[in-house]
Chain A
Amino acid sequence: GDSVTQMEGPVTLSEEAFLTINCTYTATGYPSLFWYVQYPGEGLQLLLKATKADDKGSNKGFEATYRKETTSFHLEKGSVQVSDSAVYFCALDSWGKLQFGAGTQVVVTP
């Protein structure tokens, strides 16, 4: 079945550092891909999405590009802030149902 694999955390960074979280997927067909973020004590929020190959999703300084050739959707941000500390989930839409990765905790220190 369809699945998502993302890098394990926690990832600890200093403020203004560059962040990359790797995400690869296995799917039949061409699913939509998502990054969700979960801030402490809150539910998940959609961060960005891409619906077809070579699409780039972006929001709040985060970017991810849908790479069909490498079946990847890596999340990047050029300069993180303390407020970016959260758990990030990669997900794909499998026939209307979301399949999530295990999540990557990101800790940004001042």
Chain B
Amino acid sequence: SQTIHQWPATLVQPVGSPLSLECTVEGTSNPNLYWYRQAAGRGLQLLFYSVGIGQISSEVPQNLSASRPQDRQFILSSKKLLLSDSGFYFCAWNPDGGWPTYNEQFFGPGTRLTVL
């Protein structure tokens, strides 16, 4: 069966510090991968998606970036965090079905990021 992991589970960082969140998927190959952010009291906002290694699409201009160095690894980064970056970050995946795909997305447990 497929599983998705995210770490760390929680993170407290000062403003201006760098960020690296990691997501890995097991039990599948060539998945589509997604990063979402959930600000307090808000719905999820799609930040990035990837249909393959090295292929990243950005949905929202911001100070975050994403990379996919391996087939089942997706990394969210920032060089300098802002207060507004606080929130929950979720990684998700769905099976490769061409693009656009209408397959159900499966979500990881999330990372709670607090920027002080």
Binding site for B on A (CB under 8 A): 4, 32, 34, 36, 42-46, 49, 51, 89, 93, 95-103
Contact = CB atoms under 8 A, between A and B. Distances in A.
Please name the 10 residue pairs, one residue from A and one from B, whose CB atoms are nearest each other, closest first: A96-B100, A100-B43, A43-B107, A44-B107, A102-B43, A95-B100, A100-B44, A43-B109, A96-B101, A43-B110
B74 interface: no
Contact of B107 (A32, A45, A101): A45
Interface of B: 32, 34, 41-46, 49, 59, 90, 92, 99-102, 104-110
Question: Helix, strand, loop or mixed for chain B's interface?
Answer: loop
Chain A interface SS verdict (over half): strand
A102 B42 CA distance: 5
A100 B104 CA distance: 14
Contacts of A101: 43
A97 B43 contact: no
Contacts, number: 50
A47 to B, nearest CB: 11
A4 to B, nearest CB: 8
A30 to B, nearest CB: 11
Contacts of A44: 44, 90, 92, 107
Contacts of B104: 34, 46, 49
Given A93-B102, A96-B101, 8 more contacts: A44-B90, A44-B107, A96-B100, A97-B49, A100-B44, A100-B45, A103-B42, A103-B43
B44 A98 contact: yes
A49 B42 CA distance: 21
Among A46, A95, A99, A100, find the residue whose CB has the most chain B CB atoms closer than 10 A: A100
